[in-house]
Amino acid sequence: MTAREALRIAELRLAAAGVPSPRVDAELLVAHLLGVKRSAVHLDPEVDVDGLEPLLSRREDREPLAYVIGEWGFRGLVLKTDRRALVPRPETETVVERALALIRDAPQPRVLDIGVGSGAIALSIADEHSGARVTAVDISSDALALARENAERLGLDVALRRGGIDAAAEGWDLVVSNPPYVESLEELDPELTFEPSAALLGGALHGEIARAARTTWLVLEVGDDQASQVADELAAAGYADITITKDLSGRERVVEGRRG
Ligand SMILES: C[S@@+](CC[C@H](N)C(=O)[O-])C[C@H]1O[C@@H](n2cnc3c(N)ncnc32)[C@H](O)[C@@H]1O
């Protein structure tokens, strides 16, 4: 099958399956099979494309594209992605941006990421702040294994260990976390059912982290409509300079504070 045919067939079938961005996904699938960037996928429409069917049918079943392709871009990194951990989201890039802004002038900040998942936050901070000494914990040994593979692939030094919120009490310059914050998977995109439920479903972890942390700075990702409640929890736990930052789609996504 030529690239032109592959793109047309994939777009039609993904649209029929209800995939929200069928053209983009078709281009990314074909680009992956050709080993080129998405921007180059139309350059040679007659080139042969092999192996479309198994990947296309997984995406038709609404498996996240990042799992089907097996890797995903996050800030400057390309992370291995599979069902062991959450797909890194663009909104989490804003979490990293805020974390880096707070530790920018610290030569060797001690940073803890709670709930490392694929490693998106911890590895980006290690990548973008050469002096940062980053530790990351997760209760999921599957997620930790994937984060470890990503750290090795990228040659980035992050201390990874099994652990939970109590690690926050060890004393840090910055504690950062994107904890599970979805209340129910009902009525959400079918793609979410492929991701580990322990990475998505949860409640009240923000307040728990805020109360447990011994840290100068705390940076937390929050769900839609959770920001003001989490900001109140930080205030109640004694944080000052509490700030809410919107993500690129304009939603209040990150709450940060400084231990007063
Ligand atoms: C929303 S995912 C975030 C993954 C990654 N940091 C990211 O932003 O893409 C939440 C992660 O927290 C982990 N987790 C859930 N409860 C936890 C807890 N009590 N302590 C530590 N990690 C936890 C899950 O296993 C999952 O990997």
Question: pLDDT digit string (tens) for 126-140?
Answer: 999 999 999 999 999
Query: Which spans in 171-215 are helix H?
Result: 197-200, 205-212
Residue pLDDT, tens place only, 18-45:
999 999 999 999 999 999 999 999 999 9
- Nearest Cα residue to atom 26 of ligand 1: 199
Is the beta carbon of 95 within 6 A of some atom in ligand 1? no
* Residues 111, 157: Cα–Cα separation, whole Å: 12
Q: How far is the CA of 18 from the centre of ligand 1 (A)?
A: 29
* Residues 54, 74: Cα–Cα separation, whole Å: 25
- Nearest Cα residue to atom 11 of ligand 1: 115
* Residues 135, 254: Cα–Cα separation, whole Å: 20
Mean pLDDT confidence for 193-199:
91
Residue (of 177, 176, 173, 179) closest to 104 by Cα position: 173
Residue 184 pLDDT class (50, 70, 90 cuts): confident
Is the beta carbon of 86 within 6 A of some atom in ligand 1? yes
Atom of ligand 1 nearest to the CA of 164: 20
- Tally of CA atoms within 13 A in the half-sphere of 37 that contains its CB: 4
pLDDT at 194 over 80: yes
Is the beta carbon of 182 within 6 A of some atom in ligand 1? no
Atom of ligand 1 nearest to the CA of 177: 6
- Nearest Cα residue to atom 4 of ligand 1: 117
Is the beta carbon of 14 within 6 A of some atom in ligand 1? no
pTM of the model: 0.95
Q: How far is the CA of 154 from the centre of ligand 1 (A)?
A: 21
Residue 199 pLDDT class (50, 70, 90 cuts): confident
Mean pLDDT computed over every residue of the chain = 96
* Residues 235, 99: Cα–Cα separation, whole Å: 19
Is the beta carbon of 94 within 6 A of some atom in ligand 1? no
> Which has the higher per-residue pLDDT, 242 or 199?
242
User: Tokens representing 226?
Assistant: 């959770």
* Residues 24, 31: Cα–Cα separation, whole Å: 10
pLDDT at 158 over 70: yes
Mean pLDDT confidence for 113-127:
98
pLDDT at 92 over 90: yes
pLDDT at 203 over 90: no
Q: How far is the CA of 178 from the centre of ligand 1 (A)?
A: 7
Q: Are 242 and 256 in contact (CB under 8 A)?
A: yes
Mean pLDDT confidence for 70-78:
96
Q: How far is the CA of 137 from the centre of ligand 1 (A)?
A: 8
